[in-house]
Structure 1
Amino acid sequence: MTPGFTPPERQPCGEQARIQPESVYPNADDDLAREGLHGSVSTVSLPRVSAQGPSVKPRGVASRVDEPDYVDWSLVLQSIRCRLGGRTVLDIDRVTFPAGRVSAIRGVKGAGKSTLARIIAGLQACGGTVSMGDRSLSRKRRLRQSAIVMQDVQRQLFTESVMAEIELADTGATNAPDLREVLSALGLTDLSQRHPLALSGGQQQRLVVAACVAGRRIVVFGEPSSGVDRRHLTSIAEEIRAVAAGAVVLLISDDEYRLALAADAELTLCALD
C-alpha cells in the first residue's frame, strides 16, 4: 500500500446499498416551494365536525359540518370523560365523525388527541358511550372494527409476505378477490410474495394502509406520512381518501400540507386546565 494512503471505507452493495426514496429529499415546505415543487400552503380552514364540550375548541361551542348521505354510519361519542394520572385529560359532551369523510383531530400537545384516538379504537377505557348508527360499540367491538396506522409502520408488520399481511388483517368482511383488488389499488400486486421488511418505507406504508382497508369500519391515522417525501405524501392522501369511501376515517395531524390534501373536516381539542 502506498505510504500515507488511506483507503476509502468499504461501501455496502446490493440490497443494503439501496437508497430509500423517502429519505432523499426531506425538504421543508418553504424549500420545496422555492424549487417550484409545490406552492406554499396557507393555513387550512376546514369545516368543523359537530362537537361540544370543555375539550372542544372554541371551548364549549357546538359546530357542525354538513352531514353526508350515509349519516347512519357516523361515529357518535357522548359524555366522554377520561382521567389519567389523577387529572382529567378529555371532556367531550358529544362529537359526531361522519362516515365516508376524513376528519382531522388537531390540538396542542396535551389536548388529548392520542387519548381520543385510543378511546375510539377501544384501547383506552373511559366514561361515556360510543355508537355507530343505531348500534352501541363496546370496547371489545371497537377493537375488532378499528385499525390504527402508527408513525412507525414496521411495528405493524408481522408476517412473511405482503399477501399474508393482508389476510391476517382481514376481519372476514372481504373475500380473496377483494383482497387482490386492495393490493392492486395500492400498487402492491407485484409485491404480494415479498417479505414486508424488504419493502421500501413508502411501500410498507401502503401495505399497512391496505391492511386497514380489509374490513375495518373505523381507521385512525396517527401522522401516517411521517418520514416520507412530498410526492409520496400526495399518494398517501389519495389512499386515505380511498379508505374513507367506506369507513369513518380520523387523521391526527396539524400539518397544513397534509390536511389540505386529505382532510374534509376537523375537530380541534384544547388542553384542560
Structure 2
Amino acid sequence: MRPVAALQAQLQQVLLGGRPILQDLRLSLAAGRWTAIVGPNGAGKSTLLRVLAGLQPCTGQVQLLGRPLADWPARERARRLAWLGQQEGGGEDLLAWDVAMLGRLPHRAWLAAPTAQDCAAVQAALRASQAWALRGRRLGELSGGERQRVLLARLLAVQAQVALMDEPLAHLDPPHQADWLASVRALVAGGATVVSVLHELNMALQADDIAIIHAGRLAHFGAAASSATHRALQAAFAHRIAIHPVQGQWIALPQEAAHAD
C-alpha cells in the first residue's frame, strides 16, 4: 500500500488582490522528509506555503495526512501542523518563555495551566533553538536573530507532525543557521515532515527534496542531490547560478564565480 502523503495540494488558482499568483499546481510531499521551496523573487513561494498551512484561500484542495485541511477541527489541526511565518508581529511584551509556550496551546484545555510535559517541551525547544538564555527577556527587546530563534522554539514546542517555515533563516548568523539545520534534521529523523521556503540555495541543497516555483507554477520537484534538480534550479534563475560539488556537498555559485574556477 502506498504511504499517505503528509501534504498534498491540487490547486487550480490562488489570487491575491485579484491577481493570479499560483495556478495549475499539483504537489505531494512524503512524510518524514524535508522539502525546500525555492524560486525567483515573486514566484509565489510564500503564497504556496500559506496555502499549505490553510492561511490563504485557494481554488482547489489541500490535504493534511490524507484528510482535507478544511475538515480538520482547528485544535486537532494545530497539533499536527506547526507554522513559522515571515516577520511575525505581536506579543512584544511577552517573555520569550511565554512566546515558546504558545506552541503548547493546542495541547492544553482552555485556560488550563501548563503541565510538566508542556514545560519540558518548551525547555527542550528553547535549548534546541539556542534561545534558552533569552527565556526571561521580552520579545520586543530582542534583536532580529534572537527573535527568530524564539519563534522557532515556539514552532518546535508544538511537536507537530508537519512543520511549515517561511524564510526561517532570516536574521540568523551562520552558526545559528547551522543550529537550525540541526533542528530540521532532528525533526525529520523523528518522523516529522518539514517544508521551508528558503532564499539560501546552499541551505536548500541540504534538503531531501526541492520544489522549484517559477511564475506561479511548479517548475520542478525532485531530490536535492539530483542532476535534474540542479539543471532545473539553474534554469529557474536564468542560468545566473551554477551548482557544483564541494567537499561532498552541493553548493550554488554565481555563474561568474563558477567560470572563474
Range class of TM-score, shorter chain: 0.5 to 0.7
Find the aligned partners of 2:72 and 2:66 in 1 and give their Cα distance: 17
1:164 aligned partner: 98
1:176 and 2:119 equivalent?
A: yes
Find the aligned partners of 2:137 and 2:98 in 1 and give their Cα distance: 10
- If the length of structure 1 is used for normalisation, what is the TM-score? 0.62
1:204 and 2:138 equivalent?
A: no
2:166 aligned partner: 222
Secondary structure at 1:72's aligned position in 2?
Answer: coil
Q: Between the two proteins, what is the percent identity of the paired residues?
A: 29
Secondary structure at 2:168's aligned position in 1?
Answer: coil
> Does structure 1 conserve the Cα–Cα contact (< 8 Å) formed by 2:10 and 2:25?
yes
> Does structure 2 conserve the Cα–Cα contact (< 8 Å) formed by 1:156 and 1:208?
no
Alpha-carbon distance, 1:266 to partner: 0.9
1:252 aligned partner: 197
> Does structure 1 conserve the Cα–Cα contact (< 8 Å) formed by 2:204 and 2:210?
no
Gaps in structure 1 of 5+ consecutive residues: 1-69
Question: Mapping of 1:29-68 within 5 angstroms?
Answer: none
Secondary structure at 1:124's aligned position in 2?
Answer: coil
Which of residues 67, 72, 81 in structure 1 aligns to 2:4? 72
1:193 and 2:136 equivalent?
A: yes
Over 3 Å counting, the alpha-carbon distance change for 1:254 and 1:191 in structure 2 is closer
Tell me the alpha carbon deviations over residues 161-215 of structure 1, each in whole angstroms, 9 at most, x when there is no partner: 1221122221217633222222233333343323233344433222111101122
> Does structure 1 conserve the Cα–Cα contact (< 8 Å) formed by 2:96 and 2:134?
yes
- What letter is aligned with 1:150? G
Over 3 Å counting, the alpha-carbon distance change for 1:272 and 1:102 in structure 2 is closer
1:152 and 2:51 equivalent?
A: no
Deviates more, 1:185-194 or 1:208-217: 185-194
> Does structure 1 conserve the Cα–Cα contact (< 8 Å) formed by 2:167 and 2:196?
yes
- What letter is aligned with 1:232? H
1:109 and 2:41 equivalent?
A: yes
Secondary structure at 1:239's aligned position in 2?
Answer: helix
Find the aligned partners of 1:81 and 1:233 in 2 and give their Cα distance: 34
> Does structure 1 conserve the Cα–Cα contact (< 8 Å) formed by 2:167 and 2:197?
yes
> Does structure 1 conserve the Cα–Cα contact (< 8 Å) formed by 2:47 and 2:56?
yes
4+ runs deviating over 6 angstroms: none
Find the aligned partners of 1:136 and 1:223 in 2 and give their Cα distance: 26
Q: Which has the larger radius of gyration?
A: 1
- What letter is aligned with 1:149? L
Over 3 Å counting, the alpha-carbon distance change for 1:85 and 1:184 in structure 2 is closer
Gaps in structure 2 of 5+ consecutive residues: 109-116, 218-261
Find the aligned partners of 2:27 and 2:100 in 1 and give their Cα distance: 31
Deviates more, 1:168-177 or 1:114-123: 168-177
Alpha-carbon distance, 1:129 to partner: 1.5
What's the Cα RMSD here? 3.0
